[in-house]
Structure 1
Amino acid sequence: MDHDSPARRDQRGASSAEYALLVSLIAVALIGAVLAFGGAVDGLFDRSGSSVSDLP
């Protein structure tokens, strides 16, 4: 006897599709943030590194 009715399988499929959409949107947001702020963070680390290397 199969306890998974077709309606229950549809809900489970919808949940996995929603999770996949959520994960893809988070990935797009992370890529956008890296592209937007990557240069600024790189410059910050360059300045910090030169400040430390200039210490006596």
Structure 2
Amino acid sequence: MSYSQVARKIKSQIAFFKGLAKDTEGASAIEYALVVGLVALVIAAFGNGIGTQVTRILTAIQTALT
């Protein structure tokens, strides 16, 4: 491969990556997916404790009503 072919290939790859860096289409979807993932992580981490407290409150309400 000659020097000029290598230089053209490098320029082509640089142009490709510059275009890729400018492309923002789909960025919002990725951001929303990250937010949903973090919310799911928080629910998984604290859900068990919250579920126990909600069950305790509902049981107290049920006991008070009967």
Q: Settle same-fold status: TM greater than 0.5.
A: yes
Question: Which structure 2 segments of 5+ residues have no match?
Answer: 1-18
Q: Does 1:46 align with 2:35?
A: no
Following TM superposition, the consecutive aligned residue runs of length 4 or more in structure 1 with deviations greater than 3 angstroms are: none
Q: Residue 32 of structure 1: CA displacement?
A: 2.6
TM-score, normalised via structure 1 length: 0.62
TM-score (norm: length of structure 2): 0.55
Supply the RMSD in Å over aligned alpha carbons. Answer: 2.0
SS at match of 2:25: helix
Structure 1 gaps of 5+ residues are none
User: Which structure has the greater CA radius of gyration?
Assistant: 2
Percent pairwise identity? 28
Instruction: Figure out how many residues of one structure are paired with residues of the other and give that number.
Output: 47
